[in-house]
């Protein structure tokens, strides 16, 4: 069958593809116009949902007439789903089910309605599996998303099928690998680097994205869309639920391995320094609000060649949805630079085979990152660390230790009032979080130029303090008594 995974070379459009986002320091920080339009409509829905959710209890949280509040004055809420692979995806799904107004038991428990009252949702790594799957399955009830619903045509997540050895006793593994290698080969034949992150993202697509229904379908590449091979992240804007602003605005966080990044990694487990640029991905654009860059490229044209913000050659469909969540979870760099047994036994043989098949045609290419033409090449040479790098090496959004995708929600132009964090980091022996990700973001607020983001205070100074106060075993509120002026306020 025709292969749709490969990006396609296209003519560059006449309209500008690069957006300067501005900074709080210059008082010119802006959002993408289409994000502004979506979120404003979404906030109107969220306001109505919040009024329905809280009902007679509204007076407990607001003393005035809530119905007379403008959309801009109503609470602006976001949900942030951490990384943690399958654990994070499942915990996040269970939490969103508990927040869902469509679930009677959740409404009876008092939380059902929070999901519909939220304007934004962020995810990285396993959290991005959830948010992206939820989006492309048209925002179903979470139990249907995970377990499937034949009546609604939702196949559910294929988590009972081995990621690399599908079928009874792995009998479909050979044909499964052949199909994935065909996809990757088609991409490489168009002149694009192929890495393990491509392979990882294609495998995840079979389990989380539309187009796979049951174990037997893993042996076929003739399913509708070839297991989401042709599904671009930017195509989400064509979904009916997107047009209706049914879902909170989604953002995926991705890190980058830069040879130019300065400083040490945070804590004992960090792989990337906090000075590294943190990128975000929406159906509209890819880029960063970090002041050293503060620029975005239109997402359909990610993978195109730019210089100084102007395109010289353009492509579409590099933003494959599976590759995007595969990149946000492509955590293998941290194992590749260690002597990890987990790495050597599980992934080193896979990467060795990929290197043998594809690496000879791309000498020097690192296989544990997603390599993409740097759309910001030649921009902000005085501040941007990768202004002279022709390619970006993108990888798991948590490798700077920020396993909670919180940074996009601290962007001042988004004006969030509250962020509900679902932390599945699992650093302790009993897989509970220890506050490390939040501590990293607290430090990031110090590393960034003053005034870029505001992190809630007071906050524990160490993981030991976080655990000793029991903050990892119960819901906790931070920042409730913070400053009220716009310049210093935080969610």
**Which homologous superfamily is 8-468 in?**
Cytosolic phospholipase A2 catalytic domain (3.40.1090.10)
Q: Where are the domains of the chain?
A: 8-468
Taking alpha carbons only, the member of 280, 304, 249 closest to residue 394 is 280
Burial level of 336, CB count in 10 A (0-12/13-18/19+)? middle
- Residue 334 is predicted with a pLDDT of 61
User: Is residue 338's pLDDT more than 60?
Assistant: no
Label residue 486 by pLDDT band (50, 70, 90). confident
Which stretch of DSSP H or E encloses residue 180?
helix 173-189
User: Is residue 1's pLDDT more than 50?
Assistant: no
- Residue 349 is predicted with a pLDDT of 84
Label residue 61 by pLDDT band (50, 70, 90). confident
- The CA R_g of the chain, rounded to the nearest whole Å, is 22
Bridge-based pairing state of the strands 77-81 and 418-422 = parallel
CA angle centred on 428, ends 425 and 431, rounded to 5°: 55
C-alpha 109/C-alpha 99 separation (Å) is 10
- Residue 336 is predicted with a pLDDT of 56
C-alpha 326/C-alpha 200 separation (Å) is 6
Label residue 138 by pLDDT band (50, 70, 90). very high
- Residue 487 is predicted with a pLDDT of 78
236-274 confidence digits (pLDDT tens): 999 999 999 999 999 999 999 999 998 888 988 788 999
């Amino acid at each position: 069958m025709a292969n749709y995974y490969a990006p396609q070379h296209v003519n560059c459009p006449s309209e500008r593809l690069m957006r300067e986002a501005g900074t709080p320091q210059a008082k010119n920080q802006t959002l993408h116009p289409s994000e502004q339009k979506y979120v404003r409509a979404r906030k109107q829905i969220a306001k109505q949902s919040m009024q329905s959710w809280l009902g007679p209890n509204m007076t407990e949280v607001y003393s005035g007439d809530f119905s007379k509040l403008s959309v801009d004055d109503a609470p602006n809420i976001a949900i942030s789903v951490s990384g943690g692979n399958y654990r994070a995806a499942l915990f996040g799904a269970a939490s969103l089910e508990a927040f869902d107004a469509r679930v009677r038991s959740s409404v009876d428990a008092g939380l059902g309605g929070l999901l519909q009252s939220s304007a934004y949702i962020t995810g990285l790594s396993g959290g991005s599996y959830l948010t992206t799957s939820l989006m492309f399955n048209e925002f179903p009830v979470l139990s249907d998303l995970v377990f499937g619903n034949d009546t609604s045509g939702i196949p559910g997540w294929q988590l009972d099928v081995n990621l690399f050895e599908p079928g009874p006793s792995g009998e479909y593994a050979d044909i499964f690998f052949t199909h994935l290698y065909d996809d990757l080969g088609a991409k490489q034949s168009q002149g694009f680097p192929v890495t393990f992150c491509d392979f990882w993202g294609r495998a995840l697509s079979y389990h989380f994205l539309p187009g796979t229904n049951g174990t037997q379908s893993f042996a076929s590449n003739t399913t509708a869309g070839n297991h989401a091979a042709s599904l671009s992240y930017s195509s989400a804007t064509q979904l009916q639920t997107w047009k209706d602003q049914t879902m909170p605005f989604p953002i995926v966080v991705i890190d980058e391995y830069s040879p130019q990044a300065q400083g040490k990694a945070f804590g004992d487990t960090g792989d990337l320094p906090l000075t590294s640029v943190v990128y975000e991905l929406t159906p509209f654009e890819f880029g960063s609000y970090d002041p050293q860059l503060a620029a975005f490229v239109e997402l359909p044209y990610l993978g195109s060649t730019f210089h100084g913000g102007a395109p010289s050659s353009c492509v579409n469909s590099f933003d494959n949805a599976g590759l995007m969540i595969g990149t946000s979870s492509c955590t293998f760099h941290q194992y590749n630079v260690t002597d990890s047994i987990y790495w050597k036994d599980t992934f080193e043989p896979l990467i060795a085979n990929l290197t043998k098949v594809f690496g000879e045609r791309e000498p020097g290419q690192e296989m544990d990152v997603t390599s993409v033409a740097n759309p910001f090449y030649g921009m902000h040479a005085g501040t941007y660390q990768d202004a002279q790098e022709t390619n970006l090496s993108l990888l798991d959004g948590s490798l700077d230790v920020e396993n909670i995708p919180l940074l996009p929600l601290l962007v001042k132009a988004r004006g969030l009032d509250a962020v509900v964090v679902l932390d599945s980091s699992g650093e302790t022996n009993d897989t509970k979080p220890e506050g490390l990700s939040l501590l990293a973001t607290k430090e990031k607020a110090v590393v960034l130029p003053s005034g870029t983001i505001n992190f809630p205070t007071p906050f524990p100074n160490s993981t030991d303090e976080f655990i000793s106060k029991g903050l990892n075993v119960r819901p906790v509120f931070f920042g409730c008594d913070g400053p009220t002026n716009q310049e210093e306020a935080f969610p």
